[in-house]
């Protein structure tokens, strides 16, 4: 059962009550978006200015974390491991045809790097924006603290757990479908329609039940258990992927279960 009322269309939510000294906010992002579609609405900027710290999934303002996320740290798992010779040949052909590099080169990178390239290709625009990087710039100008709800190594480990070699090959086989789904997600995002976003994020072509458990449910529970202690003394602006907000296992419902008031912000 979806605990989010269907008419509550907002990407920005206010967290208050339960003896919090100041309200905090959680905002759902799209990690990558075309520059022409990028917008930080006035209501989001107003909420941001009321906060003392910015917390993202990973603290991308931390250079050590950024180095890990960029794949510069040595990666031990080979993408080709576990594939048959014919599957390796197929994967190599897909990579060279669509991405301009070989399987041998891909083996030197973590799976999340390849996944990000698939997403970038599906978006299909020359100039892209990253919400988190824009928020980091805003935080820097306001001399705000930044932090992460998990570490870069934890996030890479999650990708490793979900996207083994065969799952990566399966995703690459249906890579052309990403563009259509991304456009649908973009329209739902612009409409701040979390219910539709949830359906698209959980499309079983791209997100298995195991993937949903590892990528969404488990992480949401971890974050919802960490957020209260962060909010106790400071007003926090949380910026996480919009797919983590809704549903009965989403951050909004998990915080309500702990006794907080969690309400949409419309203006």
Residues 25-51, mean pLDDT to the nearest whole number:
96
User: Residue 194's pLDDT is what?
Assistant: 92
Q: 255 near 6, Cβ under 8 Å?
A: no
Q: Model confidence over 82-134: pLDDT tens digits?
A: 899 999 999 999 999 988 889 888 888 777 778 888 888 888 888 999 999 99
pLDDT band at 191 (very low <50, low <70, confident <90, very high): very high
Q: What is the largest CA-CA distance in the chain?
A: 60
The model's confidence at residue 172, banded by pLDDT at 50, 70 and 90, is: confident
pLDDT for 5 equals 46
> 40-80: per-residue pLDDT in tens?
999 999 999 999 999 999 999 999 998 888 764 545 567 88
């Amino acid at each position: 059962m979806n605990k989010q009322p269907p008419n509550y269309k907002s990407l920005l939510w206010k967290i208050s009550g339960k003896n919090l000294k100041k309200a905090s906010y959680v905002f759902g992002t799209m990690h990558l978006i075309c520059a022409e579609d990028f917008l930080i609405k006035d209501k989001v900027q107003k909420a941001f200015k009321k906060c003392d710290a910015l917390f993202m999934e990973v603290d991308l303002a931390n250079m050590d974390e950024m180095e890990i996320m960029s794949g510069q740290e040595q990666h031990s798992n080979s993408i080709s491991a576990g594939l048959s010779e014919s599957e390796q040949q197929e994967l190599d052909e897909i990579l060279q045809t669509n991405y301009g590099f070989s399987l041998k080169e891909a083996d030197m990178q973590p799976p999340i790097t390849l996944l990000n390239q698939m997403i970038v290709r599906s978006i299909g625009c020359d100039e892209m924006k990253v919400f988190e990087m824009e928020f980091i710039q805003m935080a820097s100008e306001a001399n705000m603290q930044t932090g992460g709800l998990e570490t870069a190594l934890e996030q890479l480990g999650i990708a490793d757990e979900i996207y083994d070699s065969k799952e990566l090959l399966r995703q690459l086989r249906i890579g052309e479908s990403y563009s259509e789904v991304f456009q649908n997600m973009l329209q739902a995002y612009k409409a701040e329609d979390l219910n539709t976003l949830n359906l698209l994020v959980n499309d079983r072509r791209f997100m298995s039940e195991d993937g949903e458990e590892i990528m969404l449910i488990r992480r949401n529970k971890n974050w919802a258990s960490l957020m209260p202690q962060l909010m106790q003394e400071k007003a926090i602006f949380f910026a996480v992927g919009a797919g983590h907000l809704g549903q009965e296992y989403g951050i909004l419902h998990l915080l309500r279960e702990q006794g907080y008031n969690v309400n949409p912000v419309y203006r």
